[in-house]
Amino acid sequence: MKKTVTRLADGRELIYYDSVDSTVRNAVDRRPLDAVSTSSEIRHDPLLGDAVAIASHRQARTYHPPADACPLCPTRDGRLSEIPDSHYDVAVFENRFPSLAGDSGRCEVVCFTSDHDASFADLTEEQAALVLAAWTDRTAALGALDQVTQVFCFENRGAEIGVTLGHPHGQIYGYPFVTPRTELMLRSAARHRAEHGGNLFDDVVAREEKDGSRIVLATDDWIAHVPYAAHWPYEVHLHPRRRVPDLIALDEAARAEFPRVYLELLRRFDRIFGPGEPPTPYISAWHQAPFGIAGREEFALHLELFTIRRTSGRLKFLAGSESGMGVFINDVPPEAAARRLREVAST
């Protein structure tokens, strides 16, 4: 992998990741951009104890542009974009409309390919491996920043999820605090260690493998299962066999096998609802241990992949119980979801 760091016209950082070491990246951003001005602010809820990012400048962010005006496509035919070069493998840049900025953290955009009409599932294993390398490198870089405590790599796909740019891309958030969901996991892991003497994540995966009914796929280095108490209609948790706290610590065997496993999961998601159905909307989220905290070694890197589509043409909306009280009601039994995800395996 070759990494090239440059700057956009307004000073934001842009990083190219290339699979060929001889690639030269010297294109200049010719847009007449003003310096980025943000109003990101973190406020803490005194009742719930969590944090909310207030970012009013995001009201002006790009919203469903036509394909010929996509800001994530490479610069071609006189049309200038966020990527000055005419082609790229993987590109990462600071978000122009960040939810978190300055002392409040950092937000980056990850473009998986220069092909506007592709999706992550369309990538080759080599391309997916390069994305994994970019995620890993950015986790290390953001984790080294004084204002960042936790690094979150994720992808939202589909208009139903709320995606406003159709180009295949994801994001990376560097939070200045430990997120509420991770806090809950760490708390549960500490309680489990005190009560049972083992690691919670290891024991959950072992229980799922022994039961077998919710296993989606298993290889030498990865195991994917639908959680026993899945929140979403189709939800898969993917764990490396060897527990590690973050992407940086993945061993070479797991790193090499990940592209095949992950691409298979994404392709199965697109086949859940049968032929002729539109691509399945999903959120794909890497859960990594926060930096510089006690109990970090108890956390287990894993990826959570889920869709809000519960059946053909119908979405799972967060209604009163979910949004008002945080109590999920799942219409699809986890065992049935796992069975369907096994049925649509690649032949």
pLDDT tens digit string along 335-344?
Answer: 999 999 999 9
Q: With a cut of 90, say whether residue 232 has pLDDT above it.
A: yes
State the pLDDT at residue 323: 94
Do 98 and 175 form a contact (C-beta atoms < 8 A)? no
- 218 residue type, one letter: A
| Mean pLDDT of all residues belonging to the chain | 95
Position 149 scores a pLDDT of 98
Overall average pLDDT of the 279-299 stretch: 96
* Whether pLDDT at 55 is above 90: no
Sequence-distant (≥ 6) Cβ neighbours of residue 276 within 8 angstroms: none
Residue 60 pLDDT: 59
Nearest-5° Cα angle at 307, 323 to 90: 115
Tokens of 2: 């070759």
Q: Provide the token pair at 129.
A: 């491996």
As a whole-number percent, the residues of the chain with pLDDT over 70 amount to: 98
Q: Residue 323 and residue 321: Cα distance in Å, rounded?
A: 6
Separation CA 227–CA 210 (nearest Å): 13
Average pLDDT over residues 38-46: 88
Cα(281)–Cα(283) distance, rounded to whole angstroms?
7
Question: What's the CA gap between 179 and 287, in Å, rounded?
Answer: 10
- Within a 10 A sphere around the Cβ of 345, how many other Cβ atoms? 13
Q: What is the mean pLDDT of residues 129-151?
A: 98
Place of tokens 């979405």: 315
- Residue 7 pLDDT greater than 70, yes or no: yes
Distances (CA, A) of 68 to 46, 88, 95, 117: 46, 17, 20, 12
pLDDT per residue over 185-211, tens digit each?
A: 999 999 999 999 999 999 999 999 999
Residue with tokens 């406020």: 43
Q: What domains does the chain contain, in order, with CATH numbers? A: 2-175 (3.30.428.10), 180-343 (3.30.428.10)
Percent of the chain predicted with pLDDT > 90: 90
Mark the binding-site residues, compressed into ranges: 70, 73, 116, 167
Beta bridge partners, 253, equal none
d(CA 112, CA 91): 7
The whole-number pLDDT of residue 64 equals 62
The residue behind tokens 């060897």 is 242
Mean pLDDT of all residues in 174-180: 97
Work out the average pLDDT over 213-217.
98
The pTM score is 0.95
What pLDDT does 164 receive? 87
Rounded Cα distance between 66 and 52, Å, is: 32
The CB density around residue 14, as the number of other CB atoms within 10 Å, is: 23
Residue 250 identity: L
Q: Show binding-site residues for Zn(2+).
A: 70, 73, 116, 167
23: tokens are 């690639």
SS3 203: helix
CA-derived radius of gyration, the chain: 20
Question: Does the structure show a pLDDT above 90 at 35?
Answer: no
- Positions annotated as catalytic residues are 169
Instruction: Report residue 220 as tokens.
Output: 């030498």
Tokens 């994917």 locate to 224
Q: Residue 173 in contact with residue 94, Cβ under 8 Å?
A: no
Three-state secondary structure call for residue 65: coil
Spatial separation of the C-alpha atoms in residues 58 and 142, rounded to whole Å: 22
Model confidence pLDDT, tens digit, residues 57-113: 776 566 567 778 899 999 998 899 999 999 999 999 999 999 999 899 999 999 999
The mean pLDDT of 25-32, rounded to a whole number, is 95
